[in-house]
Structure 1
Amino acid sequence: MKFIQILEEPIEPGGLVEWMPYVPGGLGSWSHDSRLTSHNHEQHLRSAFEYRLRTRREGGRESWLGLSIEFDEPLSIPAIRSTLMTWIDRHEVLRSHVVIKGDGLQRLSTDVGTVKLKMGRIGWYTQSGPLVEQIAGAFDRATAPLHWPAYMFATVGREDSFTLLFAADHSLVDGYSLIMAQQELVTLYRSARDHTEPDLPTVGSYVDFSAEERRQADQTGADHPAVSTWSSFLRSGRGSLPGFDYRRAGTDGDTDSATAPAAADSVPAETDDSPVPQDSITGVVLDDDAANRFTAVCSQAGGTLTAGVLAAFAIVYHERTGDPEFRCVLPRHTRDHTRWLTALGWFVAVAPFCLDVSDSPTFDQAVTRATAELKRSRQGASLPFLRVAELIGYQGEPHFVISFIDTRYAPGAAAADEGRAKVLRSHSYATDEVFIWINRTPSGMRVSARFPARATAAVGPTVDSTTEVNNLTSAGIDDAADDDTSGAVHAYLGRFTELVRAIGDASTFGVANPPGAQPSN
């Protein structure tokens, strides 16, 4: 299943309809809700509010996630309306809103069955480019976190097929939510079309989860194990979270301070009316057979595929920079109960990751160390990082993040990976963030990344903002890595791709043994 920036792939032209949720009477008819707001959600709202004050523009365009699902049948308007309204009723987070009131927050919620859908026929498109731009712009405008709804739907209908699209502010969903949601929406649509009851499990409410997480976190003190885990990690980085600095060993620069975020009270005012969106890479690193061979090598070394991916990233980073440690931040899901498994929400914490590579370890050695570090550092995700930062007086957010997720066991994963569904993300305009996502899917291993846009005056070959990694090697753009973050990320992922392919190619896992040969993996 692809995870792509919305402008990276075309949508087949057709008739565009936008579906906007509303409640008769507006927020004034909603009930005051005493349930607490998660640290993630509160920080997200306050950042959006500060952005509005600083720029007089509405936030939202840089923080939404979405979904695109293909149906190979004509669109039924009654069925899609029923589908979307049922889905809103199933997930309370879509019927709840938090507003800033002075120094506090107030949650408002509305009951099942109260949210309606306004259908807006936008027009018929004969070209994909203008269609995608229209949808992306509508999603940007509709997902501002300070307003409800901070989400919307769209459909593109054709004679024999249609596309369903959805986008929501990050405070309402995470990537895993959408991986699970694609099959849920397909099931709901087919049931609405056929007038049958959908066979779906009950789901919990993220509003309940976030209230409980916040209550527990606020009762936690500095003696929590997560505090010592993060404090140690920050000390090893001279007081900062890690930044991405892929310069050659011996060049000037401080890895951690080079891309460190500004303190909250020193954020510069926006001066550019047209900030530059980040560059993006998507593509296939390994096909299924190669991914299985690479996984077998990781297993033989005593680690998981996750550990192997992080070990490979660490080795590649050390090869070029000579840094004795590889440091990044890892997202960890917080779905610790079955009732949260298919719930929409922001079920994400982060954990530190630091790997000793000072002795230029072999891949097997790096896997062993990565396995131990994953086990040790996971307690860092047992408390929201924002609460940890509050307890230790730290200001700053993660800005070099590597995420790994295995989607093979999600409902409908095979069909989604064959092209039925994609997870979408908005542009990001961050100037100091490098995010890398590695997804193990039924067809292999995919990569997606976003990073600061290439400087116009940078030296080196031009790289399109969207690049297929399977056509990328580190050799063609390696010279740009010392001067330009975009070129550096391309080179880094190119070298990572070369390494994991070479490791997988060296494995005999799944290869028929010649006569007389001993079985091996």
Structure 2
Amino acid sequence: MEYTHLSEFEIRSGALSMWTPELAADAWQPDDRPLTSVHADYCASVDPTDPLPGRGRWIGTVFEMDAPLDGPTWRETLRRWHARHEGLRTTVTTASAGEPRRLVAAPTAVDITEQPVADCTDGTRINEFLSGTLEERLSPLVWPHCLAATVEHAATGDFTVLVAADHSVMDAYAQAILILELRTLYREVMAGEASRESVTFGSAADFAVLERASAAELGPDSPAVATWREFLADGAMPRFAPQAQRPARADLPQPSVSRRLLDLPELEQVEAVLDQVRHRMSVAVFAALAVANQRRFGADRMRTAMPIATRPDLRWLESMGWFVNVVPVDIALTPGVGIAGAMDLARAALRRSRTANDASWSRVLDLLDVAETPRFGISFLDIRVLPGYELVADLRGRTLRAESYSADEVFLWVVRAADGLYVSTRYPAGFPAEVMDEFLTAFGQALSSITAAVHADPAVDQAGAGQPSAAVRAGSAADGLPPSVVAETPMPTDARALRAGTLRVAVQAG
């Protein structure tokens, strides 16, 4: 599953409709549960007069439903989806002083209206229309915070679905799980069945209560604060290769690059070797990035932010919401270190970062009097843990991010997909494309070198001789990392079969 821009997804031509949630004016009820720390800060950072509040902020998902479009059925599907997830019928009010307050509508209060866009049938034109609409209509301050669109393809008997939301009500995990959830709901409605009930559709507002309580316990001497303080010892968030940056106009969108680093045979060979030395692919990815950073830019230290999902209990396993924290990762390499040594150092760095797993990064930065947010981030996930991930590929499922206009942010998303290892990145318009290309090439070369480097170590070859390669499960003692760092995104068919410990996932946050 690629993580990309909507403009990079080829929408087939067809009949376009927007589907908008609606509520009566008196449907909103004040709710005493707080916003999470990051949600409150996020709302405070948004200019309420901005004519394009979704610009650079919205996220979403696009896929092709393998069934004909029936309007009433799809309308009921979306209505049930909003009734199920309190986060989709939650908003904020800024009427009083202080941080925004939560408002919630009842499950039965939401209706869905269809707005056909009759003069827009060409796929390219549809893409442009949707991109503009989402920038204009999606905001953390104005409900609805989530919109849907369909493009009916009458000739092929199916339809494209776009679901887009302000980041405040959706995270990367939610982007992934909604594809099969909406497909299941659509089939239930079509068959006249009741929707599946589950304890795993917990309220994001209930999570916020726990998050704020935990954040309030943080103090200057907390271990997480100490970890961040050391990470920010030079007084600034780390930048990616600042020496390569060139001036550029502030209104230029960031370039985006996606490529396959390793095909499946190459990747499986690397994974077999990692099993021998009892490292996980997540460790190998961070080590290879640190090595590429050293070789390409001469930097022996790679500091980056790592987004992780924070769903601490099974009740939030299938929830729509923003369950994300950010932890600091600081990998210091010795000069000339090889990839094998770099993996040991990367694993140690990831273990250090786990002290910040459960500490709100927003609150920690407040305690450290740091107003700056992360400018360089890396995320890794393995989509094979998503039951039905093969179907998601068949449905052309893609997770989407809005085009960014940042002059200094660089983010990398590395995905272990069914057919290989992929990397996507966005970077400033002033950063030379050839320099990013060279860095990504060096990253791929470092990963490819793992096989030869490990086999060149006699101790490894002797220890592994005649022994079958056994996969190390997420969070095992051999890996040295907890599930909160290394577990890839779970999306179970039966949520009750999963441990709560697998819910903290290293996925993108912004």
Whether these two folds match at TM > 0.5 is: yes
Determine if contact 1:247/1:320 at 8 Å carries over to the other structure: no
Determine if contact 1:298/1:367 at 8 Å carries over to the other structure: no
Letter of the 1:113 partner, please give it: T
Q: Does 1:372 align with 2:348?
A: yes
SS where residue 317 of structure 1 aligns?
A: helix
Q: How many residues align?
A: 456
Distance 2:205 2:421 in 1: 33
Structure 2 residue aligned with 1:117: 112
Deviation at 1:392, TM superposition (A): 1.6
Structure 2 residue aligned with 1:218: 216
Structure 1 residue aligned with 2:235: 239
TM-superposition CA deviations, 1:455-481 (whole Å, max 9, x none): 4xxxxxxxxxxxxxxxxxxxxxxxxxx
- Give the direction of change, closer, same or farther, for the CA distance of 1:367–1:301 in structure 2 (3 Å limit): farther
Distance 1:348 1:102 in 2: 26
Structure 2 residue aligned with 1:168: 165
Distance 2:425 2:329 in 1: 19
SS where residue 104 of structure 1 aligns?
A: coil
Deviation at 1:505, TM superposition (A): 8.1
Report the TM-score, using the length of structure 1 for normalisation: 0.83
Structure 2 residue aligned with 1:79: 73
Distance 2:358 2:392 in 1: 31
Letter of the 1:143 partner, please give it: L
| 1:23-34 alignment runs, 5 A limit | 23-24=23-24, 26=25, 28-34=26-32
Q: 2:325 aligns with which of 345, 349, 368?
A: 349
Structure 1 residue aligned with 2:373: 397
Determine if contact 1:296/1:507 at 8 Å carries over to the other structure: no
Determine if contact 1:71/1:420 at 8 Å carries over to the other structure: no
Structure 1 residue aligned with 2:474: none
Letter of the 1:493 partner, please give it: L
Structure 2 unaligned residues grouped into runs of 5+: 456-464, 470-510
TM-superposition CA deviations, 1:490-513 (whole Å, max 9, x none): 3211221233234458889xxxxx
TM-superposition CA deviations, 1:162-205 (whole Å, max 9, x none): 01110000111111111111111110011111112344633111
- Give the direction of change, closer, same or farther, for the CA distance of 1:201–1:519 in structure 2 (3 Å limit): same
Determine if contact 1:39/1:386 at 8 Å carries over to the other structure: yes
SS where residue 168 of structure 2 aligns?
A: coil
Structure 2 residue aligned with 1:19: 19
Determine if contact 1:302/1:368 at 8 Å carries over to the other structure: no
- Give the direction of change, closer, same or farther, for the CA distance of 1:302–1:411 in structure 2 (3 Å limit): closer
Determine if contact 1:329/1:353 at 8 Å carries over to the other structure: yes
- Give the direction of change, closer, same or farther, for the CA distance of 1:505–1:200 in structure 2 (3 Å limit): farther
Deviation at 1:246, TM superposition (A): 6.6
Q: Does 1:280 align with 2:280?
A: no
More displaced 10-residue stretch of structure 1: 290-299 or 186-195 = 290-299
Q: 1:179 aligns with which of 162, 176, 179?
A: 176
Determine if contact 2:301/2:331 at 8 Å carries over to the other structure: yes
Structure 1 residue aligned with 2:37: 39
TM-superposition CA deviations, 1:352-382 (whole Å, max 9, x none): 1111212322111111111121111111232
RMSD: 2.4
Structure 2 residue aligned with 1:497: 444
Letter of the 1:183 partner, please give it: L
Determine if contact 1:452/1:486 at 8 Å carries over to the other structure: no
Deviation at 1:486, TM superposition (A): 3.8
SS where residue 133 of structure 2 aligns?
A: helix
Letter of the 2:236 partner, please give it: S
Distance 1:161 1:411 in 2: 23
Displacement over 4 Å in runs of 4+: 504-508, 517-521
TM-superposition CA deviations, 1:310-352 (whole Å, max 9, x none): 0000001001222221111111111111111111111111111
Distance 1:165 1:80 in 2: 13
Structure 1 residue aligned with 2:385: 409
